Structure 1
Amino acid sequence: MRQPYKNRYIMKQAILYVRVSTDEQADKGFSLRDQEQKLKNYCKLNNYDIIGVYREDYSAKTFNRPEFKKLMQYAKKNATTIDEILFIKWDRFSRNTTESYNVIKTFNDLGIIVNAIEQPLDLSIPEQGIMLAVYLSIPEVENQRRSLNVISGMRRAFKEGRYVASPPKGYDMGRDNHKKPILKPNEDAKHIQKAFELIASKHYNQKEVLDILRKNGFKTSKSAFARIIRNSLYCGDIYIKAFKDEQEMIVEGIHEPIVSKALFQEVQSIIDGGKKQFKLKHKKINPIFPLKDFVLCPNCHNPLLASSSKGRSKYYDYYHCVKPCNTRYKAQDVELWFQDFLQGISLNKNAQTLLFKMIKDKFKLQSKTQALGPNHYKKLSDINERLEKLQDLFIDGKIDSNDYQKAKIRYETTFNELKDKEKQQTNQNEILNTYRNGLNKLESIDNLFINSDIDRKRKLIGSIFPKKFQFEKNEVRTADVNPILLKITSVNKGLQGNKKRDKSKKNDLSHLVLKAGIEPALRRTGF
């Protein structure tokens, strides 16, 4: 591995990475030009030689980005000529916490340091690793909150009978008298109506009906056609999937149906012989084996099976593999290890207070940079005044109805966009509450697991282990545990008593990722 630069007088070789997604506004300081200029100024002041600039117009939800792939490929081929990769803030680098740690470690293994000039971190100091977790997790939580808000808004519209997702074949998305989205039948509607009528006649099967429609100009695939004749949207009903504590439901839509409910139900009856259209299938999981599908066989690396074996006087529970592996563990031993592991990642009071303070301070700093200034409220006031003047002009007959509606829509659209910015400010409080609740649950996560039902236990396991874990040579081995939980473990230990540690000469994130065979709260199985 290439040795890092020896002193500050040697020019350091840096690659600049700038990114802005298509849904981000340039006036927030995220524009490519603004980022690049700030990075160049920083390099000039700090004696960096810029050897490359990568400009990305892509979302940071994953690292599957065209320019970042080129950057990674270049770095692997030219690692000896690169000292650092610089960007403005950590959310410009990524909004995916788990993937970020893996990518950063890849660069570190190449001898390349990654850092944000406005949120610089010295990761040779273990305590600063938790700040990295904060910087990376806050944008990810913001994305999740935004996604939940979108889902909530869509479900609210669905419950009101307004279909706001992508229109199915036979419909286009139009606008009603209030300029709100509503489905409107298009040219394909007549073909879909014909399809239901032909099937209801009982003279044609689905394939024959599809062939007839295709000859008349209807274009669709066989699988898509099968979905069309099952979609209750065509008879005016909107099917809403179950979500969290809400059960699935069907509501009356406000759009124009293409077929009648009677015709739709008749076709369903012909297709499946009277079975309910929205029958749900549930995969049953035995509560005795909450870790089933999560524990891997150390020999074949397939998920272990789970079953009970009858002894002389009682049944014994095991996680086991099939021949020729013959791997077998007592279910009691496996679950005892998992409970010990949960105790290891439980967040003690001191660490909980420290971490939440860091998160809160970060939000305070962020809210200052994104605060709505006087200009924002002046715009709102101006728009209200213009709407009043517009209404007066219309009442006085100085403008016609068409011009009035066009101007009114334009002003109201701008007004709603400004109000949305205010809502985004209030969302920060919701995100902070989400963090607080999550940290509180981590204080006794082992008890939470023990007292949860089987579904909640399995969700908890999946959130801790993105992949699977296994036993090997009487020890639990895994290389993929949620990195934030690992960092919490190290902070817990650090707060119990700080010890002097040797500081590496280069930034290294290897201590944030588990090495194979080294696990917290290790329990031997006794086999």
Structure 2
Amino acid sequence: MDNVILYVRVSTDEQAGRGYSLRDQEQKLMTYCQTNNLNIIAIYREDYSAKTFKRPEFKKLLDFCKKNKKSVNQVIFIKWDRFSRNTAESYQMIATFNALAIRVNAIEQPLDLTIPEQGLMLAVYLSIPEVENHRRSLNVTSGMRRALKEGRYMGSAPLGYDNGRDSAKKPLLIPNKDAVLIQEAFELMATGIYNQKEVLIKLKTKGLKSSKTPFSNLLKNPIYYGGIFIKAYKDEKETIINGLHEPIITKSLFDKVQDILNNRRQKHHTKHKKLNDKFPLKGFLLCPVCNNPLTASTSKGRTKHYSYYHCISPCNGRYVLEEVSQWFNDFLDSISLNGPIKKLFEEVVKEQLSEKAESNKLGPKHFEQIKKIEQKLERLQDMYVDGEIEKSDYQTTKIRYENIVTELKEKEKNDFDEKVLFDLYQKAINKMESIEKQYNNADIEGKRLLLGSIFPNKIHFENKKVRTADVNPILNEISSINKAYRGIKKWDKSKKLDMSHRVTAKGFEPPTLRAEI
């Protein structure tokens, strides 16, 4: 009989009505253990986000496992998004448990992580919640940009302003007592007599609370003449629009200060060296001998020029440009999501998104809760009209109920959109196709952006190959699957490359998903 630890987790923004409650998870896990003759030795209950493993109860769980590794066989949970929503950290944590000879698994999404194909399934399980969260953050960004375009400043008020509300209860900046000092700062700078340090010292004696860098940024902020800066986003260029708040200075005064600052900056301006198209890997490669960053250069031989990535002293190792490029292209080819593998990956993602959408649907409890709060608001208003409660109590309670209703209705706006998320996945999957060609056809900036996305740190070469420890773990899984598929294609075309995660556990009968290549 295996000894197991149960881990149940629900974040503060998840609803019990969607099957995420701690009690619901715990009951399912206990039933599973009873059916499969597993001995429960501990239960850890968490009310924390899964973005990282810096969770109080999970830390206790890990410490317990390290101290009692001989008596723990498994750590189990309902689904993989209960374990983590961070793909890279998850692989590292699984490796930690493997080192303790402890298996981790989800009873509703069981995987055999010794099989590369199922390792990729794990990446799908973990990345779907990440994509969902990212989509929601994009919705928030879109809402904030709409407010900015309407002339409303979003965020903490800059020096010289306080956050306030207009008659419609919408955010509005209101000048405070520091506004006079801000105006004086611009006026002193506009004389051209003082530098920034001198102006800051003068104003500090009058009560301005700032330091060198924030003060420098203050002098370049269009907010003070009534402008609101909107960053570039997708196809939209950066722009400055007229805000609804009261300006502290005039536009002409602001422009005069910018002219003075720009003239002073040009005197000390230094040009940065342009990147060399010939050496895209410069800055990413580490010397396999001394682990220092490799530089690159071209030297003249008797008959032609020779280019190298090379190390400085003490090891002075050097590597022919063409050979390094070939090694790197071989690696890119190994992580490309090609042909049947790409199609299979899309099908797996589609199925998982469909399941996620079904489980995320807002149930009757959600709408019942809104109705109950709205009824309470009506009763509260009647009590106030009848003189049963004071005005201050009425206003405080009314705001609290209205905030609850707003939060619940916001969840409806951010409900899981299966089609949008699949489109995002499809775009990402397409970008993982023929990575070698994408890299070789890109300009120097495009190549370096691609390198940065593949390698979280630097690149090591071992035995004329890219060291896999440096690579994004999902790409490692793709590489393993490609090797398996190419081996099957070469030796036995009748064999299957099975990516099914549905390893049916005892007492469990989930549906199966199989694909043949």
Same topology, TM > 0.5:
yes
Aligned partner of 1:396 in structure 2 is none
1:57 to 43, 47, 61: 47
Q: Using a 3 Å threshold, how does the CA distance of structure 1 residues 437 and 223 change in structure 2: closer, same or farther? A: closer
Pairing 1:485–2:475 present: yes
What TM-score, normalized to structure 1? 0.78
Residues in 2 aligned to 1:152 and 1:309: alpha-carbon distance in whole angstroms: 52
Pairing 1:105–2:72 present: no
Task: Report which stretch shifted further, 341-350 or 490-499.
Answer: 490-499
1:65-104 aligned within 5 A: 65-104=55-94
1:58-207 aligned within 5 A: 58-200=48-190, 205-207=195-197
Does the Cα contact within 8 Å between 1:350 and 1:495 map onto a contact in 2? no
Residues in 2 aligned to 1:73 and 1:383: alpha-carbon distance in whole angstroms: 43
Aligned partner of 1:438 in structure 2 is 428
Does the Cα contact within 8 Å between 2:357 and 2:416 map onto a contact in 1? no
Cα-to-partner distance string for 1:326-381 (whole Å, 9 max, x where unaligned):
12112222122222222222223221221111111111112222224567679999
| CA shift for structure 1 position 480 | 2.3
Task: Report which stretch shifted further, 129-138 or 234-243.
Answer: 234-243
Pairing 1:342–2:332 present: yes
1:404-483 aligned within 5 A: 420-425=410-415, 427-483=417-473
Q: Using a 3 Å threshold, how does the CA distance of structure 1 residues 146 and 234 change in structure 2: closer, same or farther? A: same
Does the Cα contact within 8 Å between 1:469 and 1:478 map onto a contact in 2? no
Which residue identity does 2:9 align to in structure 1? R
Cα-to-partner distance string for 1:116-161 (whole Å, 9 max, x where unaligned):
2332223344443232121112112222222333333333433343
Q: Does the residue aligned with 1:307 lie in a helix, a strand or coil?
A: strand
Task: Report which stretch shifted further, 462-471 or 320-329.
Answer: 462-471
| CA shift for structure 1 position 412 | 8.7
Aligned partner of 1:354 in structure 2 is 344
1:285-296 aligned within 5 A: 285-296=275-286
Does the Cα contact within 8 Å between 1:380 and 1:415 map onto a contact in 2? yes
Q: Does the residue aligned with 1:67 lie in a helix, a strand or coil?
A: helix
Q: Does the residue aligned with 2:469 lie in a helix, a strand or coil?
A: coil
Which residue identity does 1:131 align to in structure 2? M
Which residue identity does 1:484 align to in structure 2? I
Residues in 1 aligned to 2:399 and 2:189: alpha-carbon distance in whole angstroms: 45
**Is there any run of 5+ residues in structure 2 with no aligned partner, and where?**
378-394, 498-502, 504-517
Q: Does the residue aligned with 2:470 lie in a helix, a strand or coil?
A: coil
Residues in 1 aligned to 2:261 and 2:337: alpha-carbon distance in whole angstroms: 55
Aligned partner of 2:510 in structure 1 is none
Residues in 1 aligned to 2:246 and 2:345: alpha-carbon distance in whole angstroms: 53
Task: Report which stretch shifted further, 96-105 or 454-463.
Answer: 454-463
Does the Cα contact within 8 Å between 2:360 and 2:416 map onto a contact in 1? no
Does the Cα contact within 8 Å between 1:269 and 1:275 map onto a contact in 2? no
Does the Cα contact within 8 Å between 2:357 and 2:417 map onto a contact in 1? no
| CA shift for structure 1 position 101 | 0.6
Q: Using a 3 Å threshold, how does the CA distance of structure 1 residues 161 and 31 change in structure 2: closer, same or farther? A: same
Cα-to-partner distance string for 1:450-490 (whole Å, 9 max, x where unaligned):
21222222222222222222234544434221222222233
Task: Report which stretch shifted further, 249-258 or 420-429.
Answer: 420-429
Which residue identity does 2:314 align to in structure 1? P
Number of equivalences: 477
Residues in 2 aligned to 1:436 and 1:322: alpha-carbon distance in whole angstroms: 44
Q: Does the residue aligned with 1:169 lie in a helix, a strand or coil?
A: coil
Residues in 2 aligned to 1:66 and 1:245: alpha-carbon distance in whole angstroms: 42
RMSD: 3.9
Does the Cα contact within 8 Å between 2:354 and 2:418 map onto a contact in 1? no
Which residue identity does 2:87 align to in structure 1? T
Residues in 2 aligned to 1:315 and 1:159: alpha-carbon distance in whole angstroms: 55
Task: Report which stretch shifted further, 82-91 or 235-244.
Answer: 235-244
Which residue identity does 1:184 align to in structure 2? I
Residues in 2 aligned to 1:153 and 1:309: alpha-carbon distance in whole angstroms: 55
Residues in 2 aligned to 1:25 and 1:375: alpha-carbon distance in whole angstroms: 10
Cα-to-partner distance string for 1:263-288 (whole Å, 9 max, x where unaligned):
32333444453659xx9997732221
Pairing 1:262–2:247 present: no
What TM-score, normalized to structure 2? 0.79
Does the Cα contact within 8 Å between 1:94 and 1:136 map onto a contact in 2? yes
Task: Report which stretch shifted further, 74-83 or 321-330.
Answer: 74-83
| CA shift for structure 1 position 297 | 0.7
Residues in 2 aligned to 1:35 and 1:145: alpha-carbon distance in whole angstroms: 26
Residues in 1 aligned to 2:403 and 2:496: alpha-carbon distance in whole angstroms: 59
Q: Does the residue aligned with 1:173 lie in a helix, a strand or coil?
A: strand
Cα-to-partner distance string for 1:249-273 (whole Å, 9 max, x where unaligned):
3332222222222232333444453
